[in-house]
Amino acid sequence: MSFCFYSPIKNFNIRALYRNCFLDKLTVNWNGTMADAIEVKDLTKYYADFLAVDHVSFQVKQGEIFGFLGPNGAGKTTTAKMLTGQTKPSSGTLMVAGLDMLRQPVEAKSSIGVVPENSNVYDEMSAWDNLIFAAQLYRVPKNEREKKAKELLELFGLYERRRDREGVFSKGMKRRLTIAAALVHTPRLLFLDEPTSGLDVQSSRMIRKLVKDLNQTDVTVFLTTHYIEEADQLCQRVAMINKGKIVALDGPQKLKASVDMHQIVEVSFDQTKDLESKLASLRDIEKVGQFGDKFKLHFKSTSESISTIVDFAKENDLKIVSINTLNPSLEDVFVELTGLSAEVMKTEKEQGKKAANLG
Ligand SMILES: Nc1ncnc2c1ncn2[C@@H]1O[C@H](COP(=O)(O)OP(=O)(O)OP(=O)(O)O)[C@@H](O)[C@H]1O
Ligand SMILES: [Mg+2]
């Protein structure tokens, strides 16, 4: 038996797993058009007097990866819990996989896969027993359960460790098992709450690849994250949520284009001493940030930024080591729209999250 903690996902063939599972299950409207995978109107959640989710409305199209991006406490998990029937909204309506989660919760829940923020598999049970149990819960026919469990464990690189208790698994393995358990009934709509949070680079990559592969077999994914780059890399559309409200919703490129009114220049000189404050007084400058030996300069207009920097270098007897004009990043969009520093997204709830990385 192999004890490699981060064994790669072998024979990664999610297509085979989902073969022929979907075509007959697509949700179609009365007029023949494809229904949205999720449709939310004015969804609101109070915890006592505290407004955690504030009248959010959005649709998730079938077949997309939809990102719900926001800092700690923004209301991501609360929204995901309402969408998956784990908590009732205070008001608002929600249709999930073409079903009303409030009126038809049993049917709606059985047509979705849920990977919660905190794992819902049992740590005293083996990986194998966890999957068989999940298959029973989701009423997978008895004669298919073992085949499904084997396929999923192989797919997720856990088959060799199938007899081990979940409790002895590494974080990455636990997360993979949790995702595998959410897929036993081959749902077309998958909810992932911070799937890579707290994982090492390799495990995070593996899970992102899995999400992409699932999506290529037409699985719609609702993904909450506080990793801006994760949303940028994976999602066709992203809703930015802050203090319970959606502050922007669009494709990552469109969101970036929406703040394309500034010129951002990244420059490094042969020295850095006292330069930040001097650069801040340049003509047309809006903001300066120092990142290691580089300065990121936000100019109000695009026309003369480079010549201004070259003149500044001459006047201060500095050599320019590198200079690049930058397009706005999703991080710039977030900062612009929320007024928060991008650092708040990096504030971690737990030590382990600091190990997470993007690749
Ligand atoms: N059961 C609860 N009772 C009271 N307040 C709650 C409860 N669950 C969440 N909250 C509060 O609602 C707000 C939103 O919490 P939520 O867990 O949805 O945020 P989040 O965006 O998922 O944050 P994180 O990135 O930390 O996971 C927070 O202020 C939180 O303290
Ligand atoms: Mg959360």
CATH numbers and ranges of domains, the chain: 14-256 (3.40.50.300), 261-326 (3.30.70.920)
Ligand 1 pocket test target in 43, 46, 47 with most atoms within 8 Å of CB:
47
Reference 251, options 224, 233, 227, 226; nearest CA is: 233
Nearest atom (ligand 1) to Cα of 53: 14
Nearest residue by C-alpha to atom 16 in ligand 1: 75
pTM to 2 decimal places: 0.82
Measured in residues, the chain has a length of 359
- pLDDT, residue 18, reads 67
- pLDDT, residue 93, reads 96
Ligand nearest to the CA of 49: 1
Ligand 1 pocket test target in 45, 78, 81 with most atoms within 8 Å of CB:
78
Nearest atom (ligand 1) to Cα of 45: 12
Q: By the 8 A CB rule, do 125 and 133 touch?
A: yes
286 Cα to the center of ligand 1, angstroms = 34
> Rounded distance, CA 295 to CA 64, Å?
37
63 Cα to the center of ligand 2, angstroms = 24
Ligand nearest to the CA of 192: 2
- pLDDT, residue 118, reads 86
Task: Tell me the DSSP string of 194-216.
Answer: STTTT--HHHHHHHHHHHHHHHH
| CA atoms in the 13 A half-sphere facing the CB of 52 | 18
Ligand nearest to the CA of 226: 1
Strand, coil or helix: what is 304?
A: coil
Total Cβ atoms within 10 A of residue 317: 9
Nearest atom (ligand 1) to Cα of 79: 18
> Rounded distance, CA 25 to CA 27, Å?
6
Nearest atom (ligand 1) to Cα of 349: 26
Nearest residue by C-alpha to atom 4 in ligand 1: 47
pLDDT at 80 over 50: yes
Total Cβ atoms within 10 A of residue 198: 19
Measured CA distances, 201 to 172, 179, 222 (Å): 10, 18, 22
Reference 297, options 342, 264, 320; nearest CA is: 264
Confidence of residue 205 (pLDDT cuts 50, 70, 90): very high
pLDDT at 354 over 60: no
Computed over every residue of the chain, the mean pLDDT equals: 86
Structure tokens at 328: 């706005």
Nearest residue by C-alpha to atom 24 in ligand 1: 72
pLDDT at 27 over 70: no
Ligand 1 pocket test target in 53, 77, 194, 227 with most atoms within 8 Å of CB:
77
Reference 66, options 88, 46, 44, 96; nearest CA is: 96
Instruction: Give me the residues paired with residue 41 across strands.
Output: 93
Give ligand 1 pocket residues (Cβ under 6 A): 47, 50, 52, 70, 72-78, 117, 226, 349
Taking only the tens place, the pLDDT of each residue in 219-278 is: 999 999 999 999 999 999 999 999 999 999 999 999 988 876 677 899 999 999 989 999
Q: By the 8 A CB rule, do 246 and 41 touch?
A: no
> Rounded distance, CA 131 to CA 161, Å?
13
> Rounded distance, CA 31 to CA 99, Å?
17
> Rounded distance, CA 272 to CA 184, Å?
56
Ligand nearest to the CA of 56: 1
Measured CA distances, 301 to 2, 261, 270, 297, 321 (Å): 59, 7, 26, 12, 23
What stretches of the chain show up as alpha helix (H) in DSSP? 14-18, 76-83, 105-110, 127-137, 142-155, 171-182, 201-216, 228-234, 252-258, 275-280, 305-315, 330-338, 343-346
- pLDDT, residue 195, reads 94
Nearest atom (ligand 1) to Cα of 226: 25
pLDDT at 6 over 50: no
- pLDDT, residue 15, reads 66
